[in-house]
């Protein structure tokens, strides 16, 4: 397992601000927050595998803590990740925590954080969602839960994985949405936290499976919701759940 950078790079790999003891203390607090977030991130990444949304190392998960983006490393099975493998970059993409190479899909994650208020991003190669991405330019509105993502889910045009072109295609598909499909690739969703980002991914995969199932019945065509239906559902879903 990789060891974290020390010394000139602050506490356990996090760059500390200049200022002696005060800077070291600030770095220690930042590292503590990052360590807690990393544990939650790894748990979420493992959940994507357990729930069949990811095979092997095909997806990635990230979480933002201040201006630090914690992200799963490239090519490492989630069941092997430990606290010692914490990997993080700043919003410019410069690695400031850890020694493992960040996910190749880092451009997509950073594009989301730079343009939205997201605090977590989940990317998967979920099978039903990926299948739908090869068939249509947007997921037909077969269920009102699309309202939870902001409306009809778009499909971003294909581009090679890990490229800025893919990140830009994704941003256009995400305009006004918190999730989209990536053509011949998979899904990406974001949220105010890991739980919300993950739930949106799971709901998107479920809706894709629903549409594929309904549209496969010979001689019948699924009924679709209107824009008004979607808008009303979206408004109601904003108040869904318990208020704290």
Catalytic machinery residues: 105
Long-range CB pairs of 3-8 (<8 Å, 24+ gap) are 3/84, 3/99, 4/84, 4/86, 4/97, 4/98, 4/99, 5/97, 5/98, 5/99
Q: 108, 125, 104, 124: which is closest to 116 by C-alpha? A: 108
Whether the Cβ atoms of residue 70 and residue 119 lie closer than 8 Å to each other: no
**Angle, helices 164-174/106-115, rounded to nearest 10 degrees:** 40
Cα–Cα dist 71/64, whole Å: 9
Residue 128: closest CA among 215, 230, 22: 215
Whole-number Cα distances in Å, 153 to 63, 103, 109, 216: 23, 25, 18, 20
CA distance 155 to 137: 5
Give the C-alpha separation, 168 to 190, whole Å.
16
- Sign, CA dihedral 12-43-202-56, equals positive
Apex 158 CA angle, 113 and 152, nearest 5: 65
């Amino acid at each position: 397992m990789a060891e974290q950078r020390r010394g000139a790079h602050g506490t356990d790999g996090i760059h500390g601000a200049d200022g002696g003891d005060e800077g070291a203390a600030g770095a220690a607090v930042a590292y503590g927050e990052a360590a807690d977030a990393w544990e939650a991130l790894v748990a979420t990444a493992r959940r994507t595998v357990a729930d069949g949304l990811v095979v092997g190392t095909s997806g990635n998960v990230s979480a933002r803590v201040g201006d630090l983006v914690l992200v799963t490393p490239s090519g490492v099975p989630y069941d092997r990740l430990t606290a010692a493998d914490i990997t993080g970059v700043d919003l410019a993409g410069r690695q400031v925590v850890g020694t493992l190479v960040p996910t190749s899909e880092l451009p997509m994650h950073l594009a989301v954080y730079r343009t939205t208020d997201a605090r977590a991003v989940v990317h998967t190669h979920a099978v039903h969602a990926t299948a739908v991405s090869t068939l249509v330019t947007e997921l037909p509105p077969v269920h009102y839960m699309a309202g939870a993502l902001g409306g009809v889910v778009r499909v971003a045009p294909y581009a090679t994985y890990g490229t800025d072109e893919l990140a830009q295609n994704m941003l256009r598909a995400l305009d006004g949405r918190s999730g989209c499909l990536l053509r011949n690739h998979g899904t990406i969703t974001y949220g105010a936290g890991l739980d919300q980002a993950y739930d949106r991914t799971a709901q998107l995969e479920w809706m894709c499976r629903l549409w594929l199932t309904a549209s496969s019945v010979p001689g019948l065509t699924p009924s679709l919701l209107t824009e008004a239906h979607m808008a009303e559902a979206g408004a109601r879903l904003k108040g869904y759940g318990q208020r704290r």
